[in-house]
Structure 1
Amino acid sequence: MKALTVINSAPASLRRSVLSVPSVNIRALRKVQALDCDAVIFDLEDSVAPQKKAEARDNLRLFFKETASSGVERIIRINPMDSDFGSADMELVIETQPDAVLIPKVEHVSDIQAVADILSDAGSTQEIAIWAMIETPKGILNAPTIALADERLQCLVVGLNDLRKESGVLPGSGRAYLVPWLMQILLAGRAHGLDIIDSVFNDFQDMEALEAECAQGRAMGFCGKMLIHPSQIEPANRHFGPDPLAVREAESIVAAFAKAGTEHLNVINLNGKMVERLHLVEAERLLATAKHIAARTRKTS
C-alpha cells in the first residue's frame, strides 16, 4: 500500500495542460515537440481502432526512438490489461521508458497492482510512474483505496465520457450532476498527495464553454485538464497557472514573514488581514510554481 505523501513547497511537475494524442496519427505525433503543453498522453486505447493497435505501437516505438524528451512529461495510455492488447502495450512501455503509464477504467486496486508488478518484474524502479483514469461508477466509489494502491501512483485523471455513458447523466453546461462525484475523486486523491487532472472537453471549437469549464475545474481544485486539441492548450495553461494577482499577494506574504520579529509568529496582520503561517507555505509553493513556469517559458522561447 502507498505511504502518505508529505506535500512541501517544492515546485511539483506542471500538469496544467495534458494533451491526448492518438498514437496512430503520425502527423499529430510529429507536432508534439512544438506545442506548449505540460504533458502529452500518447493514446493506445480509445482513439485507436482494434485493427490499428499494432500500427499505433509501431508509431510510438519509432517516435520515442527518434525524439528526445523536451521537458514535457510523456505518458503512454495503455489498453486494459484484461484486453487483447494490454500485454503488448506494457511491453512497449518497458521498451520506450516514458515518464508514466496511464491505466484506463481503473476500478480496483488490482488494476494498479497488475501494472506495478510488470514494471517491477522488468527491473524498473521509480522512473516510470503510474497514472490512473477514474471513469466509471465503481472507480469513483473505490477511489479512496485506489489512491493508496502503489507508491508509483502519482496522478488520477477523470474520464467523464465513459462515466456519463455508464451513469446515464446527460451532457450539459456546468456539470451540475457530476460535481459531487468529481469532488469525491479530488478528495480521495488529495488525501494521499496525488495530482488530479480534469476530464476532456469534447467540443474544441467552443472556446467560451471551454474557458468556463477550465475556470470551474481550477476553482474545484484540479491541477490541470486533459485536452484533445492543441487549441485548448493556452486556455488550460492560463486558468490552471498562477494568477498574477495571486502571485503578487504571495510575494507580499513571503516578504511579511521575512521581516524581523516574525520568526516565532504563526499569525501576522497583513494589510488588515490575519495571515497564518500555513498561508506562507501556500505562498511559497505558488511562487515556486510561477518561477518554474517562467524558467520553462524562457527555455522554449
Structure 2
Amino acid sequence: MTPADRPRRSALYLPASNAKAIAKARTLPCDVVILDLEDAVPPEAKDEARAAAVAAVAEGGFGDREVVIRANGLDTAWGADDLAAIAGSRADAVLVPKVDGPEAIARYEAALAAAPAAMQLWAMIETCASVFALEPIAATARTGRLAAWIIGTNDLAKEMRAQLTPGREAFLPFLSMAVAAARAHGLAILDGVCNEFRDLDAFTAEARQGMVFGFDGKSLIHPAQVDPCNLVFSPGEAELAWARAVIAAFDQPENRGKGAIRVEGKMAELLHLDQAQRLVALAERIAARP
C-alpha cells in the first residue's frame, strides 16, 4: 500500500506531553495519530513535549496507524528545533501550521532536508491568506514532500471573525475549493475538528457534511469521536453493492470497450467504473486493518 492509498478516516490529535493519552491512542481504532506540539501544549512544556513525541515514535506500538507529529511554526521559538527533531524521528509525517502560500512550504521542505525520503509533509490550511493560495500551495506536491492537508476551521474562524455554526455556512465555499485544489494535485485532505465532543449526533452530522464534500476523513479532538467518524467515512453496504455491480457489468464480455452501459436500471459510464473500483479498494484496505 502506498501512502496515498491508506485509509485516513479518523485523525486523532493528542498532546505529545500526555503519556497516558499516547498509551490509549495505541489501542484506539483511529487511522492516524497526531502527536501535537503546537496548540495542545503550553509554552513551558514545549521542549518536554518534543522529546516525548520522538520517544513515543521510537517506542512504537501504534500498529498500522500513521503517526504524525504536529510541529510549531518556523516563526516561533520552537519551530526549528521541532523540525530538526522530527526529521530524525521515525514519524510517518510532520504536520506544519498556518501555511499561507508555496513559499512557506519551501521553508519547511528546506528544514526537512535531512529527513528520510519517506517522511511526508502535511500542512494545516487555516489562514485567510491560504484561502487565496490553495492551488499554488497544492502544486508544490508535484516536486516535494507535501502529501496531505488538514483544514483548521477554528483558526480560520478566529482570523475571519466568523461564527462556527452547526452548518458551517461561512466556510462552505472554502471547504469545497480546498477539496478541489487537493484533488487537482493528488493530495489527501482531512476535514477540520468538530468542537462538540459530547454531542456525537452533532459531530456525526458535521462528519457527514465533510464526507459529502469529498474529504478523506476528519481530524478529531476526543477518542469518543473515532468510531462514528470511521463509520461515516467507510463505504456503506448499499454503496459497495452498487460498486460491485458496476464492476461486474463492465467486466462482461459484451460490455468491454463500451463507454456507457445500463446497470440495475441506471446509466453507468466509465467514470462510474473508476469510482466503483476506488470505493471497493478502499473497503478492502479498511477490512484488512487489524
User: Of 125, 139, 143, which aligns to 2:134?
Assistant: 143
SS of residue matched to 1:81: coil
Letter in 2 for 1:190: R
The corresponding residue for 2:86 is 93
Q: Greater shift after overlay, 263-272 or 156-165? A: 263-272
2:43 maps to amino acid:
P
CA-to-aligned-CA distance 1:148-186 (integer Å, 9 cap, x gap): 124311111100111111101113110111111111211
- Counterpart of 1:22 in structure 2: which amino acid? P
Any idea what SS the aligned residue of 1:131 has?
A: strand
Match of 1:43 in 2: 36
Structure 2 contact 57–67 (Cα < 8 Å) conserved: no
Percent same amino acid among aligned pairs?
39
Q: CA deviation at 1:68?
A: 4.1
**Alignment check: 8 A CA contact 2:71 2:96 kept:** yes
Counterpart secondary structure, 2:54: helix
Q: Could you say which residue in structure 2 is the equivalent of 1:124?
A: 116
Determine the C-alpha separation between the residues in 2 that align with 1:61 and 1:212: 35
SS in 2 for 1:82: coil
Q: Please give the residue correspondences for 1:147-158 in structure 2 after superposition, counting only pairs within 5 Å.
A: 147-150=138-141, 151-158=144-151
Among candidates 10, 15, 30, match of residue 17 of structure 1: 10
Question: Are the aligned partners of 2:7 and 2:31 in contact in 1 as well (CA < 8 Å)?
Answer: yes
Structure 1 residue corresponding to 2:258, chosen from 241, 265, 268: 265
Quote how far apart the aligned CAs of 1:288 are: 0.7
**Partner AA of 1:130 in structure 2:** L
- Secondary structure at the aligned position of 1:261 is classed as helix
The residue number in structure 1 matching 2:54 is 61
Change (3 A) 1:112 1:284: same
Partner of 1:178: 171
Gaps of 5+ in 2: none
Normalised by the size of structure 2, how large is the TM-score? 0.95
Q: Distance in 2 between matches of 1:272 and 1:59?
A: 57
SS class of match (2:83): helix
1:280 to 265, 273, 283: 273
Contact 2:54/2:86 (8 A) holds in 1: no
Cα distance per residue 1:23-51 (max 9 Å; x no partner): 11111011111010000111000110111
Q: Which residue of 2 aligns with 1:250?
A: 243
Q: Distance in 2 between matches of 1:252 and 1:11?
A: 26
- Secondary structure of the structure 2 residue equivalent to 1:80: coil
Return the letter of the residue paired with 2:149: L
Rate the CA distance shift 1:11–1:166 in 2: closer, same or farther, 3 A: closer
Could you tell me whether the CA contact under 8 Å between 2:164 and 2:170 is conserved in 1? no
Residue 123 of structure 1, CA deviation: 5.4
Instruction: Give the deviation of 1:124 after TM superposition.
Output: 2.7
Cα distance in structure 1, aligned partners of 2:62 and 2:224? 22
Aligned equivalents of 1:131 and 1:64: distance in 2? 17
Identify if the C-alpha distance between structure 1 residues 11 and 93 changes in structure 2 by more than 3 Å, giving closer, same or farther. closer
Q: CA RMSD in A?
A: 1.6
**Residues of 2 paired with 1:250 and 1:124: CA distance?**
38
Task: Name the structure, 1 or 2, with higher relative contact order (CA <8 Å, separation 6+).
Answer: 1
1:33 aligns with 2:26: yes
Unaligned runs of 5+ in 1: 1-9
Q: TM-score, normalised by structure 1?
A: 0.92
Secondary structure class of the residue paired with 1:18? strand
Q: CA deviation at 1:251?
A: 0.7
Give 3-state SS (helix, strand or coil) of 2:255's partner. coil
Cα gap change, 1:81 to 1:172, in 2 (>3 Å): same
Q: How many residues align?
A: 287
SS at match of 1:290: helix
Which stretches of structure 1, 4 residues or more, deviate above 2 A after TM superposition? none
**Residues 37-95 of structure 1, C-alpha deviations (whole Å, 9 max, x = no match):** 00011100011011100110121122122224411011111000121001110121122
- 1:264 Cα offset (Å): 1.3
